[in-house]
Structure 1
Amino acid sequence: MTTSTRGATSPAVLVLEDGRIFRGRAYGAVGETFGEAVFSTGMTGYQETLTDPSYHRQVVVMTAPHVGNTGMNEEDRESHKIWVSGYVVRDPARVPSNWRSTRTLDDELAEQGVVGISGIDTRALTRHLRERGAMRVGVFSGEAVASEEAMLARVRESAPMKGASLYEEVATTEAYVVRAQGDKKFTVAAIDLGIKGMTPYRMAERGIEVHVLPATATLDEIYAVNPDGVFFSNGPGDPETAEHPVELMRGVLERSTPLFGICFGNQILGRALGFGTYKLKYGHRGINQPVQDRTTGKVEVTAHNHGFAVDAPIDTISETAYGRVQVSHVCLNDDVVEGLQLLDRPAFSVQYHPEAAAGPHDAAYLFDRFTSLMNNVLMEGQRA
């Protein structure tokens, strides 16, 4: 709830569900907001983070101390709006400096009604979340500030992330097409579970015409576009609630259509194959996470935003209803499953974001891998 739009001098309070309290100044909109407190380690790319639908219902703590230096622009948005529930920074930039900047971050947060807080010790908050784990949080400013007991009660009444079904809240309601750049080589049906705008663009760069479909799309609607491949996007919420996408993916696997999933799509593939998922203590967020591609031995610096992971055995090949599956990628920080690859069907997925918005370009090859997969299936079909 937002009660006013600006209040840089207004006091603000951040209250964690375990009772820890931080006091600072209002940043962006003034009022109250609730969500899951998570931290992002990226030192750049805050505009892409804010507009990533995967951050829906999360209050993002920036570990970089100085945020807002480059302002906001029209080119770097990953969707049509800011999705974070709240924003926490230590030292916001007073004046942005960038030739593409059209407004300040503070103004954009205020205009979109995003309640934030600044001037707190984000390093102490991050260390607390690493020790205690991601948890519910509330940010209060202006007239929303009340007694500590009352604010804590409000936080504990808010909805937890575990068990939350959120992907339909961020997905498109109408199908749309992103045309191939240059000669069209393939057609892909992309299931929008919270897709970032750069993702279909990266495919279009490779001659792929992308039909972005709502999360509620049926198998018939997928195959009505005559796809050479099917893509399942990133998105927010608990994958245990995503029954429709799981069944949809199983239908694609049964037809042996080339399939690629990222982030939430990786978790959906895990569930479709019969693996479980679980909530990480504090998740992976930022643009500097080390991942090893076990199929090549290469180590990549990658962009992440996930609080859940697939529970699959890392060092053995698993037998599933759709053939053999191996864990193709692992996080070098904690051995979390970061990718799956089917050995008997043309399907794979990764837990991170290869579109490099914002983030490193180490994983861009995954779009080429998807293109090669579709090309190989097409050539086999021609030979048959």
Structure 2
Amino acid sequence: MEIYLVGGAVRDTLMGLRVKDHDWVVVGATPQDLLDQGFVSVGRDFPVFLHPKTHEEYALARTERNTAPGYHGFAVHASPGVTLEEDLARRDLTINSIAVHVDSTRARAEFDAEPLALAAHWHASGALVDPYGGIQDIADKALRHVTPAFRDDPVRILRLARFAARFTEFHVAPETQTLMREMVQTDEVDHLVAERVWQELARGLMEALPSRMFTVLRDCGALVRLLPEVDCLWGVPQSVEHHPEVDTGAHLMLVLDMAARLNASLPVRFACLTHDLGKGTTPADVLPRHIGHEQRSVRLLKTLCERLRVPVECKELAEVVAREHGNIHRSADLNAGAIVRLLERCDAFRKPARFADILLACECDARGRLGLHDAPYPQAPRLALALQLALSVATNTIATAAQAAGASGPKIGEWIHKARVAAVTAGL
């Protein structure tokens, strides 16, 4: 039985990056061999075990064969006869197909050493196993598929695009670009299940330069299949006085990268991605043009969220941003009454933390423009102050006074609204 450290832990160490998780492959063993050593079986579709002390995952070397379209159509074969090279061949990219032979008796802390020192030790000791050229591709900064079996799992297109957003200096190898285009042209991406698309999309949005994910997906033709509401925004004129962009799609990418620069959460980044959907038109779009792009954005957003099963937190924040971002941008010209109504529409009194996220998404939209990356966004602190002023109103006291004056039902709400307007007027 031989044990190897594989995948992202090896890749990141060789790149001088800190490793969060370790994945291990066991060659020449049976499930019973690991159970006899105290490992706990957790794999449902293939043999994966938890180490009795570290609780890290150890998988038996295996091969995979595509048996049907989509992510679920795989036949898995694991046996003591599966070699390390065969196991590495089933992986997506060469940079993820490097292994390190380890002695199972060595201390776990050894693998927490400084990355470059550990990588130098691996090179010097000959512990690295690299049958598919991953080390050279790290040096060349290339994202390259391991074998033609890459096409067996269309989710790998999304994974590659996500890696492009993480490793921003890497390029897609020409032969891999060609293969991905072929996968799109033969409708293989159409078999992706919604959960996997959302999972990879969410991860890509949280990377260092999320725009690169969408650039890669557009270049191979996958974006129009997966997110047609977003893809159609390229070529749609987008301009702000004195600050024109090439088009709405280009603006969208600037907004996403601004969200990453400001360390925004996933709901904020998703809202940035979808705030302008109504400006485009997909072939299947039957929405009337006269309803305005904010309303169109909300309707298209709901369709997209239902299709991809987007989490409620992301969906609800994105809907408010799509509907109200224009009003928030113009809020410097609003009087106190209009500001309080805006806060009410955003449900800011019940969800002040979410309102802060709404303001951050709007700031990303405003600064995600050519020449405005470092511009101030005074609307955010002004509206945040207005919310605090309105929240300072003692609503219970106002309600009691209203009831004493004979008011009830909606009339009490009017009293509270007026008191909030007065507080904002005085404070601003």
> Which structure carries more relative contact order (alpha carbon 8 Å, separation 6+)?
1
Between structure 1 and structure 2, the one with the greater Rg is 2
- TM above 0.5, yes or no, is no
Task: Please identify which structure carries the higher strand content.
Answer: 1
Task: Please identify which structure carries the higher helix content.
Answer: 2
Provide TM-score, normalisation by structure 1.
0.29
Provide TM-score, normalisation by structure 2.
0.27
